[in-house]
Amino acid sequence: MIDSYNVIIGSLNQVWVQMLIFVPKIIIAIIIWVIGKYLINLAVKLVRKIDIKETKIDNHLVGVFSSVVLIAGKIILALVILDFLGIGRTIIGALATGLTLTIAIALGLSFGKALEEDAKNVVEEFKKHFKHKSAD
């Protein structure tokens, strides 16, 4: 009974220590998030104020560019925070693998669909060829 009690107390102690180590990281990650959001919003405001004299920069183009800055900034900020917490590399690896597999599947399906008629003709030719050989 004493052994199981020591194991339970030891496990709870480890959990407590890990939480004490992790809580400051969460607080720092929140501070990084707040500062990062402020800087991203500042960059977007600066981009929206672009007005170059003697050029015709369309407001739509400035809006699109500011949206790109906003989205890219948020993605980079999220990756910085995840890397700070120690899980960024794992997530980036999983995203890269998923993107690679998605592209491979899409290319396979598109080539398969594009060459469907040719493949059907090749199979028909093989069938005719084997039917004539088996009849001999």
Q: Which helix (H) or strand (E) holds 86?
A: none
Return the structure tokens found at 25: 């990281």
Question: Which range has the top average pLDDT, 10-24, 32-46, 120-134?
Answer: 32-46
Q: Mean pLDDT for the chain?
A: 85
Mean per-residue pLDDT for 38-42?
95
| C-beta of residue 28 within 8 angstroms of C-beta of residue 84 | yes
Distance CA 93, CA 82 (A): 13
- The pLDDT score that the predictor gives to residue 101 is 94
Q: Which residue has the higher pLDDT, 78 or 62?
A: 78
- The pLDDT score that the predictor gives to residue 32 is 93
